[in-house]
Amino acid sequence: MLEKLINTALLGTDKMAFDENQLPESLRTILGENNGVDKETHFLRTISLVSLYEEAGRKPQRFSGEFSEEEKVEQLATASTKMSGILNEILDIQYYFRNDLLELWLEKLIENQQIVSPRALVILLNQVESLPKKFHPKILKVIGKRGLYLLNFKTDKITFQNPENEQIWTEGRLAERREFFINLRKENPTKALELLESTWKEESLNDKFAFLESIKNTFQASDSAFLANILSEFTFKTKEKKTQKECRTVAVGMLLGVPETQEYARTEEVLNNYFVSEKGKGVVAWALGKEQKIIRLPETEDDFWNVNFMLANYGFEPSPDVAIFSTNQQYWLACLIEVLPFEFWSKHLERDIENTLQYFVSEDFVVKLEGKKTAILLNALIGNAVRHQNIVLAKALFKVTQVKDQVPLLPLLSIADKEQYIIDTKQLTNLPILEICFGDWKGTWSADFSTKILRECYAVMIERNTFLPERLGAMMAQCLHPSSSNFLVNAKVYPVSATPYYTNYWEKHFVNSIIKTFEIKQKIAAG
């Protein structure tokens, strides 16, 4: 009703009349008592009345029962006033610094098997609606019986609490079910797959694709039996949906990563025909008559390298860009390089990983784009390292790629290697790179790396008068080594050229917030 009234107001009552017969009888009676006023006033009264009517329908009825006088005895001890009071300090700190500290504080209370004091309980419950959903289970563990009772008046406790596993799986939305499935895969991959199998037949095609993508991101060899069983569902059809083909591509791609599967064996048997020996290039190799293995692709389509076979068996389509892949065969080779384990290519080319990589980025697989040489298989090689978590290949790729191409490989590095990479490539203040490397990490940087990043931030802001995002300060507060406090104490000494705007920003969003974070962390640890 209200929406129709708003549309009438936007167009004007002269152009669009509102039919009051659509209103409930009780509202029509009240409006009838207001006859005699002009049309605009009557219309405004109608809007006001309908607005109040709809708002009243969203509010619960007045409580008419009796309040329980039963004392709610808490089973857990109440945290000290000092520990509970830390919540106020956390909420007073800059926004980007807040959530990590709050999570640390909640985890400490749970570890101590304590609940918050009544005063802190009210403050915490006033924050629940603005906090990420991941905090809900932890909050429920520290608010005690009084908190659970009060939660009924603050929010919908049913939606606030995590529903039972079965309820999420049977009634949840796709995003919720995917999140639950991925989390369960981390804890119990066998149970997660059994759960998916139990409802697989009832899942829609789009949902099946979503779950296959989730499996791909957490794939392990034990998933192969499930994938082999469901693969026939995605058999090629002349007029098939795009999602049908995508499901086939994802499922076959995972099976090709496991040498024990039929898909791997069949592919290896065919590809064997295209590994041939030829004399090595260069004067020395020619003089010695030394031969080496290479891949010789057919110049035209054959029984294997053809559109129908690739689409039906792997879900690979023709080359999307003839400037990069001059033939479909080159593009399909790139697709196979990404999904088959890199050891497959090393084995059949009879080279170690580094030399196999060098072959794939050699002149045989290079084209000129806008006057620059481009290795056409590079993205596939990076994709292989990421898909198979191949750290040896990733490290070899760092030697033959530019910084802009190395971003997908960064999560594969150890923390020490990430720190060294950021130092070597001068990315100390590059927030997107730092977030890729340390975004979900809860550890502490080395003392040397912490000092270097602090010095660089100081130089950028105070000496070069360049803005740095507040979120960088929040990440530093989370990861800096405790010894960094020595640097921070002296970080308010500025050169004559320093600009007040940058010194004030530096102190507020970096120095003071980081020092305060350190202090709060120490108080939480002591609690």
Residue 390: closest CA among 422, 343, 349: 343
Distance between CA 337 and CA 491 in Å, rounded? 51
| Higher pLDDT pick, 160 / 168 | 168
> Quick one: average pLDDT of 188-197?
91
Task: Kindly state the percentage of the chain with pLDDT values over 70.
Answer: 87
Closest by CA position to 27, among listed 3, 2, 9, 10: 2
- Please spell the DSSP secondary structure of 179-216, one letter per residue: HHHHHHHHH-HHHHHHHHHHHGGGS-HHHHHHHHHHHH
Give CA–CA dist 84/524, Å, rounded.
Answer: 10
Residue 56 is predicted with a pLDDT of 67
3-state secondary structure 236-301: CCCCCCHHHHHHHHHHHHHHCCCCCCHHHHHHHHHHHHHEEEEECCCHHHHHHCCEEEEECCCCCC
Name the one residue in this structure whose structure tokens are 């020996």.
277
- 3-class SS at 122? helix
- For residue 492, what are its two tokens? 């308010």
Q: Is the pLDDT of residue 158 over 60?
A: no
The pLDDT of residue 401 is above 80: yes
Main-chain phi, psi angles of 43, to 5 degrees: -65, -40
Mean pLDDT over 175-186 rounds to 87
The confidence band for 527, taking pLDDT boundaries of 50, 70 and 90, is confident
pLDDT classification of 424: cutoffs 50, 70, 90: very high
Q: Is the pLDDT of residue 277 over 70?
A: yes
> How large is the average pLDDT for residues 226-242?
93
C-alpha of 213 from chain center: 13
pLDDT at 259 over 90: yes
Does the pLDDT of residue 214 top 60, yes or no? yes
Bridge partners of 292?
278
Q: What is the mean pLDDT of residues 343-358?
A: 96
Residue 5, pLDDT > 70, answer no
Where is 355: in which H helix or E strand? helix 353-360
DSSP assignment letter at 407: G
The three-state secondary structure class of 429 is coil
Q: What pLDDT does residue 160 have?
A: 65
Residue 10 phi/psi, 5-degree rounding, is -65, -40
pLDDT band (50, 70, 90) for residue 78: very high
Q: How many residues does the chain have?
A: 527
pLDDT digits (tens, 9 = 90+) for 23-65: 777 777 777 766 666 777 777 777 777 777 777 665 556 656 6
What pLDDT score was predicted for residue 511?
Answer: 95
What pLDDT shows up at residue 70?
Answer: 59
pLDDT of residue 25: 77
The whole-model pTM stands at 0.78
Q: Which residue has the higher pLDDT, 166 or 93?
A: 93
Q: Give the residue with greater pLDDT, 286 vs 345.
A: 345
- The per-residue pLDDT for 72 is 64
Torsion of CA 396, 399, 404, 408, to 10 degrees: 10
pLDDT on residue 130:
85
Residue 280 and residue 291 in contact, taking contact as beta carbons nearer than 8 Å = yes
pLDDT at 232 over 60: yes
Identify which has the larger pLDDT, 84 or 6: 84
User: Under a CB-based contact definition with an 8 Å cutoff, are residues 378 and 401 in contact?
Assistant: yes
pLDDT of 118 higher than 70: yes
Residue type present at position 55 = E
- Position 508 scores a pLDDT of 92
The H or E element containing residue 115 is strand 114-115
| Residue 448: predicted pLDDT | 96
- Summarised one tens digit per residue, pLDDT across range 411-423 is 999 999 999 999 9
Query: Per-residue pLDDT tens for 461-505?
Result: 999 999 999 999 999 999 999 999 889 988 999 999 899 999 999
Per-residue confidence (pLDDT) for residue 500, from 0 to 100:
94
Whether the pLDDT of residue 8 is over 80: the answer is no
Cα(515)–Cα(519) distance, integer angstroms: 6
Q: Residue range 211-222: average pLDDT?
A: 92
User: If you average pLDDT over residues 337-363, what whole number do you get?
Assistant: 96
Distance separating alpha carbons of residues 48 and 269, to the nearest angstrom? 77
Residue 508 CA to residue 436 CA, distance in Å, equals 25
Average pLDDT, the chain: 88
Every domain of the chain and the residues it spans: 2-57, 77-159, 165-254, 293-409, 413-526
Say what the pLDDT of residue 145 is.
87
Q: How far is it, in rounded angstroms, from Cα 509 to Cα 507?
A: 6
- For 353-395, write each residue's pLDDT tens digit: 999 999 999 999 999 988 889 999 999 999 999 999 999 999 9
Instruction: Report the candidate in 512, 428, 520, 437 with the shortest Cα–Cα distance to residue 99.
Output: 520
